[in-house]
Structure 1
């Protein structure tokens, strides 16, 4: 970073201090999401924000080798004690947190000490994927559905904090103050909430947010999850976003909604547009490899099974909620197989790469699946284990080239580290360990 840019960032941050102080902010949480989907943080007192914006905050690159339980993989390019990075907060996303009074939040980009982008920076990868599409005249809009379960905060296991039925108003009534406080906090933080409702599993809720540019959509997914976590804690509750909370129950999904635009026109709403079809076909072709990104935990494959509306089949259909790709008529493409153990920046990046490859290659879709895919023996399942997904990812030249050799290798190393961690674990043990980590 040159001196002029450093001075500009310092001045920008300085100009924000009074407004934040008026809102009783005393510190800023600067976050990034590691390759295991865990949001990590470094924080600075409010008066140190200008220095952090101009010079960054030091952080070890060792976090690229972290597993969900904080053990560290000694990978090919990550996991060692040597080196240092700088976290630069994105001041355009700086947000005073209504769910955590006294705090503000900003997502970080990661750079080396010389100012070059870190080759394993997830946010930078998502930005680069969007830029490649933009160079071809396309824009992507994205948004996430965030599902979570609310448990009692005074027990180690999971006891639902509400007993009302699936999608039942009674469940929302039971936790009325909690739900109202959560929605109020999200809105106060500038999150455009589309809808909120109780979901199928015991104690489960879902919130959907409006489409944004893909990097900001991933930012919002982080902000929403951490706000849910904070508001839950203030109510004496615990929130879990894990793909499996109880072994025999329905898990939490993290569905991605994505649309392709050209000349301010949503190509998914424009009828039979060949580029929208090609984008969808590109995602469909690479779904097995994409599972290493969007279904990145051992617990993911306890969720990704038929008859759970988890999208366990490599198929697409119009409004078909059991296919991995659901075409929402006139609006967008929903990727249903992904869950919230995933890093949202990697999810949007990899999905854009796959879709873009489909557009470049002019791919066409097979016939849509119009019934439950389990009834069609020729419709393939998605990977049934994390090992199968990692193998598909490593064999996919388009994705690995877009990630770059260091990033792609570390993704595989971290995934195999989790596989080894749970090699002898029962489903009950996997669920117990992961329940409160995501």
Structure 2
């Protein structure tokens, strides 16, 4: 379980009771330091580290870090809002001990996600993890809902010996091919061992479509823990790859052409432990609440792309007919639809039925992405929204009249277009709060300005090794 309570100065009593034993256990395993990790608005994981002996101090009083990182861009330049982006102020990073993990791919290190609070002990309004935790808590209190979530992770493996900045695939062979698995058998076996050591259950690990590309699917958790797990999975993939002389890119578009790396988001709603996406009387076994939740997500997809596809490289990936989900459409097991209804196999539907949101990549802050998708779904539930007609096949084939009748529209084609949709969406902005919503807009527009005048190949190169 994830700790859902806010940190407090001086430490939560239950954490203070645990930390001495945890520290001793870590020291016995030769863990020398703790990585304290969070993800900024641009989707970059930022960290501080403390020696293992300082874990108790971090749990009690946090670790200082500037709030300026809320408006960092991917290239480490800074934009501003009315309250963020200045050199002033300080925040405290508090590790979540329930999510602390010894890193199998980095001997001597453990890892923990953090929440950020102000020096006065209040929630930091720019903390994405706090936003997601608050969203999940409010859904439970107001609607009696809980969620199960998971984020697929796709990555491109390159040779670390390649010329600086270039991507040279580390493996040959066809998409999904056995050749790739054989060539990187030692790497993938070590990766599975690291996940097992870190208690990360793997559903499947396989070569993917693009050159040098692999994908891993991991077990579902509550949304906060699922976002934490996504960050941990990427840390592990990168660390194990480095030990094999390989370099990893999670960028949405490693190259200007072809299929990029996605980070598809899976989500299901539960009430009293019962999956609302199975066993109902609606389409494909959905309950009325599950349909309304899905309809809420579908209705807000244009605005959601400012959060789920937040990089200029994201828009190199979002192309029709490449399974990226670039149209406002839904369908059962339809991989070209932006919202895929996954029913699961007969006999497993009560456990497995869920929604897959496809226009999501790994430049997205997973806490923001999950929180905003849930907020959109809850708005649909509150308004008893209904799903439009289902699509089958590739929506790119529809003519204008047929597409309009089905409510099928192309998602925004650029970051400025996404920001316009986002700024017009009162539901998402209200869910995030003004500080975080303004940070999202400012960072997206800053990224767009940073690549102005670059061609697609230059954009891909600019973000290739950022994520």
TM-score when scaled to structure 1? 0.98
Contact 1:110 1:121 (8 Å CA) reproduced? yes
Report SS of the residue matched to 1:436: coil
What is aligned with 2:40? 34
> In 1, are the aligned partners of 2:10 and 2:61 still within 8 Å (CA)?
no
Work out which of the residue numbers 269, 274, 278 in structure 2 matches 1:269.
Answer: 278
Find the partner of 1:281 among 295, 302, 308.
295
CA contact (8 A) 1:161 1:237 kept: yes
CA offset digits 1:210-232 (Å, max 9, x no partner): 11000000000000001111111
Deviation for aligned residue 1:5: 4.3
User: Residue 287 of structure 1: CA displacement?
Assistant: 0.1
Q: Hey, which bits of structure 1, 4+ residues long, moved more than 4 A? A: 1-8
Q: Structure 2, unaligned stretches of length 5 or more?
A: 1-6, 280-284, 344-348
Aligned with residue 423 of structure 2, among 370, 376, 394: 394
Instruction: Evaluate the alpha carbon distance shift between residue 418 and residue 113 of structure 1 in structure 2; reply closer, same or farther with a 3 A threshold.
Output: same
1:253 aligns with 2:253: no
Are 2:65 and 1:59 aligned? yes
Paired position in structure 2 for 1:171: 180
Residue in 2 that maps onto 1:147? 154
State the alpha-carbon separation in 2 of the partners of residues 95 and 272 from structure 1: 36
CA RMSD in angstroms, aligned pairs only:
1.1
8 A Cα contact 1:76 1:410, kept in partner: no
2:256 alignment partner, SS class: coil
Greater CA drift, 128-137 or 167-176: 128-137
Instruction: Tell me the residue number matched to 2:454.
Output: 425
Q: Structure 1 residue 99 and structure 2 residue 105: aligned?
A: yes
Whether 2:328 is the aligned partner of 1:314: answer: yes
Relative to structure 1, the CA distance from residue 239 to residue 2 in structure 2 (aligned partners, 3 Å threshold; closer, same or farther) is closer
1:260-300, CA deviations, whole angstroms, 9 ceiling, x for partnerless residues? 11121111122131000000000000000000000000110
Contact 2:11 2:59 in 1 (8 A): no
Task: Give the conservation status (yes or no) of the 8 Å contact 2:11–2:61.
Answer: no
CA distance in structure 1 between the partners assigned to 2:212 and 2:374 by the alignment: 33
Moved more, 383-392 or 8-17: 8-17
SS in 1 for 2:338: strand
SS in structure 2 of the partner of residue 428 of structure 1:
helix
Q: Name the counterpart of 1:237.
A: 246
Task: Determine the C-alpha separation between the residues in 1 that align with 2:452 and 2:466.
Answer: 18
Find the aligned partners of 2:195 and 2:330 in 1 and give their Cα distance. 32
Match of 1:411 among 421, 431, 440: 440
Corresponding pairs, count: 438
Q: Determine the structure 1 residue equivalent to 2:4.
A: none
Range moving further from structure 2, 265-274 or 121-130 = 265-274
The yes-or-no answer on 1:90 pairing with 2:96 is: yes
User: What displacement does 1:8 show?
Assistant: 4.5
- Secondary structure of the residue aligned to 2:356 is strand
- 2: CA distance, partners of 1:137 / 1:77: 35
Any unmatched runs of 5+ in structure 1?
none
User: In 2, Cα distance between the equivalents of 1:164 and 1:276?
Assistant: 41
Partner of 2:396: 374
CA 1:6–1:274: 2 relative to 1, 3 Å:
closer
Most deviating of 68-77 and 201-210:
68-77
Q: State the Cα deviation string for residues 185-237 of structure 1 (Å, max 9, x = none).
A: 01110111111110000110000011100000000000000111111111111
Deviation at 1:433, TM superposition (A): 0.9
> Are the equivalent residues in 2 in contact too, given 1:65–1:410 (CA < 8 A)?
yes
Query: Once the 2 structures are TM-superposed, how far is the Cα of residue 3 of structure 1 from its aligned partner?
Result: 7.2
Paired residues of 2:9 and 2:121 also in contact (CA < 8 A): no
SS at match of 1:406: helix
| Residue 436 (structure 1) aligns with | 465
Matching of residue 325 in structure 1 with residue 339 in structure 2: yes
- Quote the residue 1:228 is aligned against: 237
Counterpart residue number, 2:377: 355
Secondary structure of residue in 2 paired with 1:184? helix
Distance, in Å, in 2 between the alignment partners of 1:6 and 1:19 is 20
1: distance between equivalents of 2:204 and 2:286? 28
Distance 1:9 1:358 in 2: 37
CA contact (8 A) 1:75 1:414 kept: no
Compute the displacement of 1:11 (Å): 3.3
Name the residue aligned to 1:334. 356
Kept after mapping to 2: 8 A contact 1:139/1:262: yes
